[in-house]
Structure 1
Amino acid sequence: MATYHIETYGCTSNQGESRQIEQALREGGHYPVDSLDDADVAILNSCTVVEKTERNMVRRAQELQEETADLIVTGCMALAQGEEFAEAGIDAQILHWDEVPDAVLNGECPTVTPDTEPVLDDKIGILPIARGCMSNCSYCITKFATGRVDSPPVEENVEKARALVHAGAKEIRITGQDTGVYGWDNGDRKLPELLDRICTEIDGEFRVRVGMANPGGIHGIHDELADVFARHDKLYNFIHAPVQSGSDEVLESMRRQHRVDKFREVVAAFDDTLDYWTLSTDFIVGYPTETDADHQQSMELLREVRPEKINVTRFSKRPGTDAAEMKGLGGTLKKERSKEMSSAKMEIVAEAYEEMIGTTQEVLVVQEGTGDSVKCRDGAYRQIIVQNASDHGLEPGQFATVEVTSHQTVYAFGIPV
């Protein structure tokens, strides 16, 4: 998908959540449109205060459903009374707000198109380092928009990163369809060199996060890449390597350019090199060829590697892709598999954040949170919320030391020390 239309109702908290949804979508190369006719997906960030508000939300969801192909409903009413939409005959995905960007991506790579340029959003700089990929995944529509990988020189991307830092960016998010194949079109994968030069040649205090790097793209440079992470504190110890399935048979049907053993080798390289890091990965559940045994292999892989961030997406047919021609699995089966994996995901992520309690972490204050709070990222890009931020003089762009005091499954709370 490339275009979205988002509507937000209710309090400033909802407004802030919509802003973060939009930021993630922009990072993925998507862009907003005002007209529903031009939107690939409509997002309704709902409110529930009184009965009249609830009726208005249902009515607006019905209108959006009539005018667009895909509808996502999030926000307070979606989470507290999601069944109201189904009872009204509304066929929408009901999601927590932080699941929305992954649902829009639909298991695909970010849609970074030829006209994509760096974006500075407050203290966050978004830097697309290349366009296109080397893959031909059967379910992905992005390849039709972007084509094969086209990599600008390393020097050009270093200068773009420098410009973002000089403009005030404290966090640079490196993105692309597949950052791991950056430079492949010119004969050599250049991601380790790019990261090394950004960290050594650009003055200032800032952090760098590497986005989407498919296992097939980084396999072969994974040892070198892990060494670069170990050498530079400016790099978040975080890698997003979407495995998509724990079954080699399903990966072959998806036409992914890796198999499970390659993914394991990538993870092992970072485990061996870094003491504290975050693995982020994606799973697509309910792919047309996925059997019960295939699904269980995915569950086993999930429990084996225990990623600290996990995106679970139910397979959805994209027009024009080869997978769209396959006979799909039933919606109930996909929902059951998604529920099982999501439940395991929450247990694994909660365990990772539970282990952080009592530790002291150096963090970057990245964004304002709800009320008088700020959202921070530690060295492994794990989210730590500091409440009563004004009492501590904390604002986005500052660095601080915090003690982790508790967690709320997918993020922690901390106090400055």
Structure 2
Amino acid sequence: MARYHIETYGCTSNRGESREIERRLRDAGHYRVDGPDDADVAILNTCTVVEKTERNMLRRAEELSEETADLFITGCMALAQGEEFAQADIDGRVLHWDEVPEAVTNGECPTTTPDAEPILDGVVGILPIARGCMSDCSYCITKHATGKIDSPPIEDNVAKARALIHAGAKEIRITGQDTGVYGWDEGERKLHRLLEEICEIDGDFRVRVGMANPKGVHGIREELADVFAEYDELYDFLHAPVQSGSNDVLGDMRRQHQVEEYLEVVETFDEALDYWTLSTDFIVGFPTETDHDHDQSMALLRETRPEKINVTRFSKRPGTDAADMKGLGGTIKKERSKEMSAVKRDIVGEAYAAMVGETREDVLVVEEGTADSVKCRDSAYRQIIVQNASEHGIEPGDFVDLEITAHETMYAFGTPV
């Protein structure tokens, strides 16, 4: 778990983005502290109205970078003039606000609180299916809070999903430290069985499966891929964090999988699904990562071409075994992160560019965006923005057919057909 400090400057839009950042961090078990001195990470949501404001943002970023271990900079100035922070030699990462929550997690599992219950947020139902994991990663502090996997019975989770749907949920987000090992404590991995039963519930809804480590998925990859192929209710989306393309580094991380197992998971889903989204995570700059190890990660990224990629620079968490390792310099981590992030943008941008001119059917409108827009998800959980939503008469919870008209790096634009 990370302690975070967040500061927001500027307009209502920035404040809304900061609220969403905080919501996601809380969902992952992180918590806010009053000041940067007590924080593991600081988040600066910037404004860029006038030159004086820009000078203030640079000064505040410099102060925060000296007061916390990690600084994440987002907002208008960060995205429009990100080079200003680099030129000022500020040790902070410039990110789109939507990338901040994943970066803060440092590759760790999300943390579900002991009394976690389903939450309905607009038309999105959040369903924690279990607590804990079966991993013992050397860099992760989450395991100290969660312990080993504790899986409630399938019928209990199905009942909670049914209640969310009856309450108005159109998207069910299956969450947990590692959804792929659900049931392992009872001697049987049964995520695929749980998904089958949830998809059989009466109603018009979609289901997104949360993070599942490659090792847990590998043992049920064929069964799981078959369920994805059978049920339209399931987004064809899999988040399997590989973390490194080097088996040596994975061993030092004490990840339970090897690269070959991750590749076998990807190949199985490729064979079962014509159109799907692979999401994965990479930690760059782990203490034992050599130049060759990093090159292997870059090669794996280019080979598998995931459409959603979380790139995290390694930072030490107190009480973990990796915290005792001699770390790499900040410059090395920054350069490797920059190189991987550039390839990430190319891969994701190409995926969204390929959608332009196509039509996506039964796209779910998930939530309101900014300036009369809405955010939608297609069958592979790719994000599509519809502008002037009120003119089209669409709102969260609707299913619409969209013609893809344009794209940015991380999303596409669509017009109702």
User: What TM-score, normalized to structure 1?
Assistant: 0.94
Shift of 1:93: 3.2
Q: The residue matched to 1:384 in structure 2 has which SS?
A: strand
Distance 1:11 1:270, change over 3 A: same
Residue 383 of structure 2 is matched in structure 1 by 383
Deviation at 1:55, TM superposition (A): 4.1
- What is the SS of the residue equivalent to 1:15? helix
Instruction: Give the 5 Å matches for 1:84-99.
Output: 91-99=91-99
Q: Secondary structure at the match of 2:375?
A: strand
| Maintained 8 Å contact 1:16/1:370 | no
Match of 1:272 in 2: 271
Q: Taking structure 1 as reference, are residues 69 and 337 closer, same or farther at Cα in structure 2, changes over 3 Å only?
A: closer
Return closer, same or farther for 1:86/1:360 CA change in 2, 3 Å cut-off.
Answer: closer
Aligned ranges for residues 237-256 of structure 1 at < 5 Å? 237-256=236-255
Counterpart Cα distance in 2 of 1:66 and 1:339? 21
Distance 1:355 1:82, change over 3 A: closer
Stretch deviating more after TM superposition (78-87 or 366-375): 78-87
Check the 8 A contact 1:27/1:175 in 2, yes or no: no
Tell me how many residue pairs correspond in the alignment. 416
How far off its partner does 1:20 sit?
Answer: 2.9
Shifted more, 276-285 versus 324-333: the winner is 324-333
Aligned counterpart, 1:197: 197
**1:288 maps to 2:287:** yes
Q: Output aligned runs, 1:101-116, within 5 Å.
A: 101-116=101-116
Q: Supply the distance in 1 between the matched residues of 2:81 and 2:351 (Cα, whole angstroms).
A: 30
Q: How does 1:203-222 map to 2 (within 5 A)?
A: 203-222=202-221
Supply the RMSD in Å over aligned alpha carbons: 2.0
Q: Which secondary structure does the structure 1 equivalent of 2:42 belong to?
A: strand
Contact 1:172/1:207 (<8 A) preserved? yes
| Distance in 1 separating the partners of 2:335 and 2:178 | 30
Counterparts of 1:66 and 1:298 in 2: how far apart (Å)?
Answer: 30
Structure 1 residue runs without a partner (length 5+):
none
Could you tell me how far apart the structure 2 residues matched to 1:81 and 1:253 are? 38
Taking structure 2 as the reference length, the TM-score comes to: 0.94
- Say which SS state the counterpart of residue 54 (structure 2) adopts: helix
Greater CA deviation, 30-39 or 253-262? 30-39
Task: Report the counterpart of residue 325 of structure 1 in structure 2.
Answer: 324
Separation of aligned partners in 1, 2:202 and 2:53: 51
1:314 matched to 2:313? The reply is yes
Return the letter of the residue paired with 2:212.
A
The farther-off stretch of 161-170 and 137-146 is 161-170
Contact (CA 8 Å) 1:79, 1:95: kept in 2 or not?
yes
Q: 1:60 deviation in Å? A: 4.7
Aligned residue number for residue 147 of structure 2? 147
**Matched AA of 1:374:** V
Unaligned ranges ≥5, structure 2: none
Distance (whole Å) between structure 2 residues aligned to residue 67 and residue 334 of structure 1: 19
Contact 2:2 2:105 in 1 (8 A): no
State which drifts further: 376-385 or 401-410: 401-410
Specify the alignment match of 2:185 in structure 1.
Answer: 185
Amino acid at match of 1:20: E
1:189-248 deviation digits (Å, cap 9, x = unpaired): 121111111110x22111110011000111110100001111111110000000011111
Displacement of 1:310 in angstroms is 0.9
Q: Secondary structure at the match of 2:4?
A: strand
Distance in 1 between the 2:204 and 2:299 partners? 40
Q: How does 1:26-175 map to 2 (within 5 A)?
A: 26-32=26-32, 39-58=39-58, 60-61=60-61, 70-82=70-82, 91-175=91-175
Identity over aligned residues, as a percent? 76
8 Å Cα contact 1:171-1:207 kept in structure 2: yes
Deviation at residue 15 of structure 1 after TM alignment: 2.7
Alpha-carbon contact 2:110-2:176 (below 8 Å) kept: yes
Structure 1: how far apart are the matches of 2:138 and 2:406? 42
Q: Does the 8 A contact of 2:366 with 2:375 survive in 1?
A: yes
Amino acid across the alignment from 1:238 = F
Deviates more, 1:380-389 or 1:338-347: 338-347
**Which amino acid in the other structure matches residue 42 of structure 1?**
A
